[in-house]
């Protein structure tokens, strides 16, 4: 049997294990070791499984993950999320759908200090849902904008998924983080435009709150200085070349700690560190398992064969790219975001590069499609997180409320495919 055939069979076994509910970290490690055993023998397989966890996860680049995660939890305890939401509410609350729009911009602001989508959803839901309930907002609309707003944390830097993609694809972490900035702003703007239009057409979706005086609006901007400072320190240092992404993440975590110290209890600090450790351990477990599987794929030659087959297809290269992106819609029904990203990129990226697409553009598009998977059934991780925060809103209603946002997401993907310069503008001007 050819090596590529073995690679195909083991990959099929992996998906069967995942469908039966096996954790992706263990399923990928098991299939990787099994495949290496078949191709290279037991001793080489055991050797690879032994040294890969340390050799690969000790990379300096990956230190950015726990630092960004810690920054997000500390920023939450510093009250940055509530301050941003209150500011957005003061400025936009009087518009049709104003509280929903404020929720979107509040989530975007927190995303700029937190790279974890589920955390952004949970935190924003606790703040925004009671306020929208007070003004009789439709439950589906309210829940949908919180769940969809949380997905922006995977796009707006600092993003955990962008860092993981950069690591697996061997691309610049700084360039990937900066590449998500404009698409993230586009996402927040189009979400808000859609909400404004819906509420103008159907005012019964929610009440309009009284407009605030201009003095109060400008005074509310004081609540955003913490978030703006973190964004300036982290992204400004990366863009200017003053600091590496890891150094910038350390500066961000330190800045978030200084902001949180005056208002954070000892228990809050303990909880932030504990949640950072749990989240980091979960991510690194998946990384280790996937890297063992990726080493097996390299020996099997399967990614190269797939790339060669794709290149020789008698179709337009954009048709192939769209088909790959659509694949993520299907995978999103069964896999979580991190597992989906780490598992597929080693297989599809060689084909994408062979078709002469920019790996940075592809990375942003993939993360965008993974965002959609966070709010579509049956997995929809953000939906289940939000249901835990607001158990009075059914999962079915949350999914229905997300439908409009999924439509906007797909339109945004089409825009980014048509105008990839939106993605590349900032990375191309950054100081190396």
pLDDT digits (tens, 9 = 90+) for 84-117: 888 988 999 889 999 999 999 988 888 877 767 7
Average pLDDT over residues 15-44: 87
Query: Does residue 409 carry a pLDDT above 70?
Result: yes
More confident residue, 2 or 255: 255
pLDDT, tens digit (0-9, with 9 covering 90-100), for 156-211: 888 888 988 998 888 988 999 999 999 999 999 999 999 999 999 999 998 888 88
416 alpha-carbon distance from chain centroid:
17
Per-residue pLDDT, 279: 84
- How much is the pLDDT for 432? 54
- Least confident range from 184-188, 218-222, 411-415: namely 218-222
C-alpha pair distances (Å), 226 with each of 79, 106, 171, 189, 384? 9, 13, 30, 22, 30
For CA atoms 250, 251, 255, 256, the dihedral sign is: negative
pLDDT value, residue 347? 84
100 contact partners, CB below 8 Å, separation of at least 6: 132, 137, 141, 142, 145, 195, 199, 206
CA distances from residue 6 to 91, 217, 281, 349, 350 in whole angstroms, order as listed:
59, 63, 31, 20, 19
- pLDDT, average across residues 250-272: 89
Please say if the pLDDT value at position 334 is more than 70: no
Tens digit of pLDDT for each residue in 351-403? 899 888 999 999 999 999 988 888 888 777 788 888 887 888 888 889 999 99
Residue with more model confidence, 298 or 149: 149
- Mean pLDDT (the chain) is 87
pTM: 0.85
What pLDDT, on a 0 to 100 scale, did the predictor assign at position 194? 96
Q: Count how many domains the chain has.
A: 1
Average pLDDT over residues 289-302: 85
State residue 223's pLDDT score: 79
Among 252-256, 293-297, 312-316, name the most confident range: 252-256
User: Structural domain of residue 8, as residue ranges?
Assistant: 3-429
| Average pLDDT, integer, range 254-281 | 88
Q: Which residue has the higher pLDDT, 61 or 301?
A: 301
Asked if pLDDT for residue 336 goes beyond 80, the answer is no
Confidence of residue 406 (pLDDT cuts 50, 70, 90): very high
Q: Scanning the structure block, which residue is given the tokens 């495949």?
A: 35
């Amino acid at each position: 049997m050819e090596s590529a055939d073995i690679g195909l069979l083991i990959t099929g076994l992996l998906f069967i294990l995942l469908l039966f509910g096996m954790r992706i970290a263990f399923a990928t490690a098991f299939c990787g070791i099994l495949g290496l055993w078949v191709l290279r023998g037991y001793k080489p397989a055991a050797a690879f499984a032994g040294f890969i966890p340390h050799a690969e996860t000790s990379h300096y680049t990956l230190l950015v993950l726990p630092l960004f995660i810690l920054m997000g939890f500390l920023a939450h305890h510093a009250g940055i999320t509530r301050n941003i939401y209150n500011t957005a509410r003061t400025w936009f609350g009087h518009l049709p759908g104003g509280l929903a729009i404020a929720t979107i911009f509040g989530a975007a602001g927190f995303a700029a200090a937190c790279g974890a989508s589920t955390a952004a959803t949970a935190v924003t839901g606790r703040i925004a849902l009671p306020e929208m309930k007070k003004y009789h907002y439709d439950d589906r609309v309210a829940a949908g904008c919180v769940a969809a707003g949380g997905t922006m944390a995977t796009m707006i830097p600092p993003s955990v998924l962008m860092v993981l993609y950069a690591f697996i694809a061997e691309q610049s972490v700084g360039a990937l983080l900066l590449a998500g900035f404009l698409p993230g702003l586009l996402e927040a703007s189009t979400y808000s435009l859609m909400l404004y239009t819906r509420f103008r057409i159907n005012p019964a979706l929610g009440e309009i709150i009284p407009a605030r005086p201009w003095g109060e609006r400008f005074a509310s901007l004081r609540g955003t200085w913490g978030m703006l400072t973190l964004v300036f320190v982290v992204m400004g240092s990366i863009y200017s070349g003053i600091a590496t992404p890891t150094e910038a993440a350390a500066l961000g975590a330190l800045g978030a700690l200084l902001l949180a110290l005056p208002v954070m209890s000892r228990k809050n600090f303990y909880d932030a560190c504990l949640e950072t450790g749990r989240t980091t351990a979960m991510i690194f477990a998946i990384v280790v398992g996937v890297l063992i599987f990726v080493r097996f794929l390299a020996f099997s030659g399967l990614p190269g064969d797939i790339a060669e087959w794709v290149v020789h297809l008698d179709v337009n290269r954009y048709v192939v790219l769209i088909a790959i992106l659509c694949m993520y819609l299907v995978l999103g029904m069964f896999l979580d975001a991190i597992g989906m990203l780490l598992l597929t990129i080693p297989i599809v990226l060689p084909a994408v590069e062979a078709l002469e697409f920019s790996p940075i553009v592809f990375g942003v598009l993939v993360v965008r499609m993974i965002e959609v998977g966070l709010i579509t059934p049956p997995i929809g991780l953000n939906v289940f997180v939000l249901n835990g925060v607001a158990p009075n809103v059914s999962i079915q209603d949350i999914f229905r409320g997300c439908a409009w946002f999924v439509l906007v997401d797909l339109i945004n993907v089409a825009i980014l495919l048509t105008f990839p310069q939106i993605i590349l503008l900032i990375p191309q001007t950054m100081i190396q």
